[in-house]
Amino acid sequence: MTGGAFAAVDLGASSGRVMVGRAGPDTLELSAVHRFPNEPVAVGGTLYWDVLALYRGVLAGLRAAGAVTSIGIDSWAVDYGLLDGTGALLGNPVHYRDARTDGIPQGVAGIVPDDRLYARTGLQKLPFNTLYQLVAAAGTPQLAAAERLLLMPDLIAYWLTGVAGAERTNASTTQLLDLRTGDWARSLMAELGIRPSLFPELCAPGDRIGPVRPGVLPHPADVLAVGSHDTASAVVGVPAGGPHFAYISCGTWSLVGVELDAPVLTEASRLANFTNEGGVDGTVRYLRNVMGLWPLQECMRAWGDPDITGLLRSAAAEPGRTAVADLDDPGFLPPGDMPARVVAAAGLPADATPARITRCILDSLALAHRRAVRRAQELSGRHVDAVHIVGGGARNDLLCRLTADACGLPVLAGPVEATALGNVLVQARAAGVVGGDLAAMRALVRQTQRIVRYQPGGNAAAWLAAERRVGV
């Protein structure tokens, strides 16, 4: 291997891992050094993240990684930890799937109408956005005692370095960042009773956060800001050869969209519930959150975690598009008896087999991908020639084939580790071992990573009929 070594800490909704990447002008390689579970905990009717267990896993991984040039941290969006005046954590962060925000968006709309909120922040209306979480937490002793709010990757970086900050790509998901100024929307916070003083100074991907504190790790290293929202890093790792592409960062969620130079703030965009999130190098991730593989993951948990390869093989043999559901229905958001919810929503027989339910979920997800890709083009004016699927969903051959078929576009699947690759590339560029803009970094991904191409099957009429049955 040639080039520098960089540690990518990637925290997902069900697991975390530490990867070591080696990068150079013609090199981009990854190795996993530690994986650890991320298991939420329900206490007293509230669902929490076990953030101290996550930090323990991060430390174990970084110690196993050995000497590296720098460390970058990415995670899911919107959730946060609260610190008191001494920097101590005031309790485990609440999970975005917790029910505390039920009804909160409607109340917020009575103070700040949805159209004004969208014009200011450009964010998709989702009940778990940080703004709604903070309004739901109003009046709690914990929030009253807080002096600082840190999003999840910023919290881990703070524990490593002692430096509190907020990286822009993740800050852009809070619904509290002003698109016009690029700074925190302090007047909006004041309208909603949220203290602006909770929010730290913003930084950008590639900025140095600080050195790891002495004694925390056996080797010195700097912690750098990367695209700390995992989708921002994943989009860096999309191996596109030009601007006319759609991406699907597919895992527990499917983030479906296009990359733009400026936000789309039209009323049509707001009503379609598309979001304008920050990307690396000042780009805009214009996308829509789709439920993703979460329903299948929950079904598999209910079925006792069967072998996924065999299940997908059986699902591929089932007739296609005979039963579909709107996976964006909020009824699929909470954990619980997912097979029964899918059966009821799709009109499947009560004794439907796991293979039949799986085929229904994947057909429905391909339909959701189709809708989002088409609407992204219509609303942004950006034509798409191909769809890139990155993340864990790139391993799912059936889903990739169905998505190509449904969209009527070639699907290029991979890399699976796009998030970690994007994380490493931003660090490597900051270190000067790779150069260039996003196009140059993506060229390196194309040169070094395995990509599988799926051609559409020409079933446009059948997919249109299925879409009409869903009725969205």
Cross-strand partners of 36: 16
Query: How far are the Cα atoms of 58, 60, 349, 410, 427 from residue 35, in angstroms, in the given order?
Result: 9, 9, 39, 33, 21
Cross-strand partners of 260: 284
Task: Return the C-alpha torsion angle 87, 8, 369, 328, nearest 10.
Answer: -20
Helix, strand, coil proportions of the chain in percent (round to 5)? 40, 20, 40
By C-alpha distance, which of 472, 320, 343, 325 is closest to 406? 320
Domain ranges of the chain: 4-228, 239-414+451-472
pLDDT tens-place string over residues 204-247: 999 999 999 999 999 999 999 999 999 999 999 999 999 999 99
Average pLDDT over residues 391-411: 97
Report whether pLDDT(448) > 70. Answer: yes
Report whether pLDDT(470) > 90. Answer: no
pLDDT tens-place string over residues 413-438: 999 999 999 999 999 999 999 988 99
Query: How far are the Cα atoms of 155, 313, 327, 334 from residue 6, in angstroms, in the given order?
Result: 20, 37, 37, 36
CB 283, CB 372: distance < 8 Å: no
CB 47, CB 95: distance < 8 Å: yes
pLDDT at site 1: 37
Report whether pLDDT(444) > 90. Answer: yes
CA 35 to CA 365: how far, in whole Å? Answer: 28
Q: What phi and psi values does residue 49 have, to the nearest 5 degrees?
A: -90, 140
The full 3-state SS of 134-189, as one line of letters, equals HHHCCCCHHHHHCCEEEEHHHHHHHHHHCCCCEEHHHHCCCCCECCCCCCECHHHH
**Strand, coil or helix: what is 391?**
coil
CB 10, CB 27: distance < 8 Å: no
Domain spanning 239-414+451-472: CATH superfamily: ATPase, nucleotide binding domain (3.30.420.40)
pLDDT tens-place string over residues 52-81: 999 999 999 999 999 999 999 999 999 999
pLDDT at site 59: 98
Report whether pLDDT(472) > 80. Answer: no
User: Strands 411-413 and 386-390: what pairing?
Assistant: parallel
Tokens of 143: 């929030």
Residues in the chain: 472
Tell me which architecture the domain covering 4-228 has in CATH. Answer: 2-Layer Sandwich (3.30)
- Please give the mean pLDDT across all residues of the chain: 96
pLDDT confidence band for 4 (50 / 70 / 90): confident
230 is catalytic: yes
Q: Which of 79, 230, 328, 405 is catalytic?
A: 230
Query: How far are the Cα atoms of 181, 249, 251, 357 from residue 417, in angstroms, in the given order?
Result: 33, 10, 11, 28
CA 57 to CA 413: how far, in whole Å? Answer: 29
CA 254 to CA 367: how far, in whole Å? Answer: 12
Asked if omega into 415 is within 30° of 0 (cis), the reply is yes
pLDDT at site 2: 45
pLDDT at site 180: 87
**Strand, coil or helix: what is 433?**
coil
pLDDT at site 3: 65
| Domain 239-414+451-472 in the same topology as domain 4-228 | yes
Residue bearing tokens 């509190």: 164
